[in-house]
Amino acid sequence: MSSKLKILVPVKRVLDHQIKPLVNAAHDGVQTQGCKFSINPFDDIAIEEALRIKTHRPQDVESTHAISIGVDKCQDILRNCLAKGIDGVSLVETNESLEPLAIAKLLAHHVKQQNYNVVLMGKQAIDDDSNNTGQMLAALLKWPQATNACKVEFNDSMTSCKVTREIDGGEETLEAKLPLVITTDLRLNQPRYVGLSKLMKVKRVKIPKLSITKDFPQVDTTNKLNVLSVDEPQTKSPGIMLKNVDELVSKLKDAKLI
């Protein structure tokens, strides 16, 4: 029996990776005012992978859909996904900063309702660096998980998938039956840029919105952790510039490092 893929790509809006985060005055997060926000880079790789699967095997893909959970401004990254060629998007609007478990519960609910059979998502968000949500979603759905993917190959009948994943000492390859959660690592692909003309075309598209209270009434999204403070890491005293290799060797020797 063969099946068609119905792919969901959850995407997160994060402080752009080129901005150096600075702790805010209240010591409860980082400064965000006036800062550029973008799609989490690993999620961008997941979007790219979904688009490539669709391009290579159009007859085997029913649809690709991106979803974001967050503030109204997440519309920007969703619009970007549309401009790149994702079929549909939706925004679960909330001003709360939800923990990975809460996000995974919302996503699991959505996946069951909409009958997705593949979830492709970034391995971690570059803001909280948790690396949690994909594994949690797989657990809640009782699906297999293939995290840190650097190569994804579906079989001919789209019923199983071979995933090569990056691990500490190298790589390993797994084979899982669908449905499946795949999280993406850096080397899976190189995301495309989207041109201005394509962005203009989706500029006025209305992004469908969902509400946690109305559309996910039975999902408990209470946070379980309490962030007491956010602080700058200790900075070391500035280093010494040395004149030549001899100086370096004697410094290292004094410090008993060689």
Partner 1 sequence: ASTLALLETTADGKLDPSSLNLLQAAKLLNNPITALLVGPNASKGAQNLKDSVKCEELSKIAIVKDESLAHYLPENISPLLVELLKDDTFSHFVISSSSTGKNILPRLAALINNQPICDIIKIEGPNKFIRPIYAGNALATIETAQEKKLLSVRASAFDSIEEGKSEDVEIVEIPFTNKDNVPIKWLSANLTKTGRPDLGSAKTIVSGGRAFKDKESFEKYLTPLADVLNAGIGATRAAVDNGLCDNSLQIGQTGKIVAPNLYIAVGLSGAVQHLAGMKDSGTIVAINNDPDAPIFKTATFGLEGDALDIVPELTEKIKATQK
| Dist CA 128 CA 228 (whole Å) | 15
- Tokens at 63, concatenated: 């649809």
Should residue 48 be labelled a site residue for partner 1 when binding is judged by CB under 8 A?
Answer: no
The stretch near partner 1 (CB under 8 A) out of 47-55, 71-79, 82-90, 159-167 is 159-167
The stretch near partner 1 (CB under 8 A) out of 3-11, 54-62, 167-175, 208-216 is 167-175
Choice between 30 and 202, CB closer to partner 1: 30
Q: Which of 55, 113, 115, 173 binds partner 1 (CB under 8 A)?
A: 173
Count interface residues toward partner 1 (CB under 8 A): 79
Should residue 94 be labelled a site residue for partner 1 when binding is judged by CB under 8 A?
Answer: no
Residue matched to tokens 């391995």? 123
Q: Residues 3-37, buried b or exposed e (16+ Cβ, 10 A)?
A: eebbbbbbbbbbbeeeeebeeeeeeeeeeeeeeeb
Should residue 240 be labelled a site residue for partner 1 when binding is judged by CB under 8 A?
Answer: yes
The stretch near partner 1 (CB under 8 A) out of 62-70, 76-84, 204-212, 237-245 is 237-245
Q: Which of 21, 57, 87, 199 binds partner 1 (CB under 8 A)?
A: 21
Residues in the chain: 258
DSSP assigned state of 20: P
- Tokens at 236, concatenated: 């070391």
